[in-house]
């Protein structure tokens, strides 16, 4: 009993330490947002006036939010089916697929970004050259310097993390409710839509909000690939990398506060959702895992879908880097 209490106390200690570090970082960022551009000893509201008076701010905010939503869309488009295959079906490549997920975590995101620039940039990208269509000829077939491409690349890179976060929820789902639904004559489609997905909703929303926050704060892809227009992280970078003077810590802090407000809004939405979590609660005995469901005619589609993710997230970047080594 003492060991158990001590273990819980250690968890609380680590949690409290993490909260303190986050609070210090947040307070430091808020304080720095009031620094004067030329004299950090002077506190001013000038940074916020410049930020909210910038005519480009609405476009930058919209682009930042769309980047987060687009990244989450592509993440779930692959992570949800892959997690389903690994936990609830008789998919025969579960072991190799899990290994690929772990291997992908070891490939830095900026390597994937560089590889796609080499392959799909409009001027000299390998794929555009293969089709004989670049901006130097009749117009590029692919142009990687777009928000949609960055959202896609961030999404496929974050798939392994999304899968690992979804795995516990899928594995701990009680199969007795599904079986009772099937016995009652309800189709598998209706069972999934009305029972399985609502039970998975809290975990799915948690993953979506977590990776929305991650997506709007990732710097690798927007910095290496670039696009028409800015996002908030690029404004922070530009303020801290002044080439003709000192870094503008105050303006960077003000943009950081705005970025935190966006992420805080997403977190607030999730806390409101948790307040309604009781309607997703299930009262029962010991949870019994469901038997793997046969894929049947869907097996080929499952293989193709996994192959698409593998090609886009691992094979193309690796082959590209080997080609341009």
Q: Please spell the DSSP secondary structure of 96-136, one letter per residue.
A: HHHHHHHHHHTS-HHHHHHHHHHHH-TTT-HHHHHTT--TT
pLDDT at position 42 is 72
Assigned domain for 224 exists: yes
Q: Name the nearest CA neighbour of 284 among 187, 167, 179.
A: 179
Instruction: Tell me if 50 is assigned to some domain.
Output: yes
Cβ-contact 109, 220 below 8 angstroms: yes
Indicate whether 24 belongs to any domain.
no
pLDDT exceeds 70 at position 283: no
| pLDDT for residue 303 is more than 80 | yes
At 87-126, the pLDDT tens digits run 888 888 888 888 888 888 888 888 888 888 888 888 777 7
Average pLDDT over residues 31-48: 79
Cβ-based neighbour number of residue 53 at 10 Å: 8
Cβ atoms of 236 and 25 within 8 Å: the answer is no
Q: What is the DSSP-derived secondary structure letter of residue 146?
A: S
**Token pair in block for residue 252:** 């960077």
Those residues whose C-beta lies under 8 Å from the C-beta of residue 145, and which sit 6 or more positions away, are 121, 122, 225, 226, 227, 228
Residue 108 inside a domain? The answer is yes
pLDDT greater than 60 at residue 294:
yes
* Residue 187, Cβ density class (10 Å: 0-12 exposed, 13-18 middle, ≥19 buried): exposed
CB 224 within 8 A of CB 292: no
User: Residue 229: is its pLDDT beyond 90?
Assistant: no
Q: What is the pLDDT of residues 132-159, one digit of tens each?
A: 666 555 667 778 888 889 999 999 999 9
- Cα-based distances in Å from 88 to 95, 179, 203: 14, 13, 16
Q: How far apart are CA 302 and CA 285, in angstroms?
A: 33
Question: Is 264 inside a domain boundary?
Answer: yes
Best-predicted range by mean pLDDT among 6-20, 30-44, 60-74, 168-182? 60-74
Q: Quote the distance between the C-alpha of residue 180 and its chain's center.
A: 35
Tell me the pLDDT band of 286, cut-offs 50, 70 and 90: low
pLDDT of residue 104: 87
Q: What pLDDT sits at residue 68?
A: 93
Task: Identify the pLDDT of residue 271.
Answer: 76
Cα 78 from Cα 302, distance rounded (Å): 11
Domain count, the chain: 1
SS3 label, residue 305: helix
Instruction: Give the CATH number, domain containing residue 218.
Output: 1.10.3720.10
Asked if the structure places residue 23 within a domain, the reply is no
- Tokens (6 digits) for 124: 């000299």
Of the candidates 314, 323, 324, the residue with the CA atom closest to the CA atom of residue 97: 314
Any domain includes 13? no
- Among 70-79, 205-214, 281-290, the least confident range: 281-290
- Torsion angle of C-alpha atoms 43, 46, 48, 49, degrees rounded to 10: 160
pLDDT surpasses 60 at 325: no
The reported pLDDT for the residue numbered 105 is 84
Q: Mean of the pLDDT values across residues 3-12?
A: 67
Highest mean pLDDT among 77-81, 171-175, 288-292: 77-81
Domain hosting 228: range is 33-323
Q: Which two tokens stand for residue 179?
A: 């079986």
- Bigger pLDDT: 286 or 74? 74
Bridge partners for 43 per DSSP: 35
| Average pLDDT of every residue of the chain | 81
Q: Per the domain annotation, does 20 fall within a domain?
A: no
Whose structure tokens read 């701010």?
A: 57
Rounded to an integer, what distance in angstroms lies between the CA atom of residue 172 and that of residue 216?
Answer: 31
Q: Which residues make beta-bridge pairs with 89?
A: 293
**pLDDT tens-digit map of 254-279:** 898 898 888 888 888 877 776 665 55
Averaged pLDDT for residues 10-28: 83
């Amino acid at each position: 009993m003492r060991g158990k209490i001590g273990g819980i106390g250690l968890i609380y200690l680590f949690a409290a330490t993490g909260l303190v570090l986050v609070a210090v970082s947040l307070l430091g960022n808020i304080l720095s947002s009031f620094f004067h551009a030329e004299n950090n000893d002077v506190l001013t509201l000038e940074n916020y006036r410049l930020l909210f008076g910038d005519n480009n701010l609405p476009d930058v905010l919209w682009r930042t939010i769309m980047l987060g939503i687009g990244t989450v869309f592509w993440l779930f488009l692959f992570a949800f089916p892959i997690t389903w295959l690994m936990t609830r079906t008789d998919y025969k490549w579960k072991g190799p697929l899990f290994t690929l997920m772990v291997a992908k975590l070891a490939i830095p995101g900026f390597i994937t970004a560089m590889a796609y620039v080499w392959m799909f940039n409009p001027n000299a990208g390998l794929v555009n050259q293969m089709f004989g269509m670049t901006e130097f000829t009749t117009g590029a077939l692919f142009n990687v310097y777009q928000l949609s491409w960055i959202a896609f690349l961030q999404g496929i890179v974050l798939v392994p993390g999304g899968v690992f976060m979804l795995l516990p929820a899928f594995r701990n789902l009680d199969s007795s409710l599904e079986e009772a639904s099937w016995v009652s004559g309800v189709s598998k489609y209706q069972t999934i839509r009305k029972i399985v997905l609502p039970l998975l909703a809290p975990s799915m929303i948690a993953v979506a909000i977590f990776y929305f926050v991650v997506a709007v704060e990732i710097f690798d892809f927007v910095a290496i690939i670039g696009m028409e227009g800015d996002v908030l992280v690029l404004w922070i970078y530009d303020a801290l990398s002044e080439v003709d003077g000192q870094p503008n810590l105050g303006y960077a802090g003000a943009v950081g506060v705005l970025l935190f407000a966006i992420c805080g809004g997403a977190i607030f939405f999730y806390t409101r959702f948790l307040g309604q979590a009781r309607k997703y609660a299930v009262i029962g005995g010991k949870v019994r895992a469901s038997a793997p469901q046969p894929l049947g005619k869907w097996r080929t589609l499952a293989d193709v879908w996994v192959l698409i993710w593998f090609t886009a997230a691992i094979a193309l970047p690796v082959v590209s880097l080997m080609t341009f080594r």
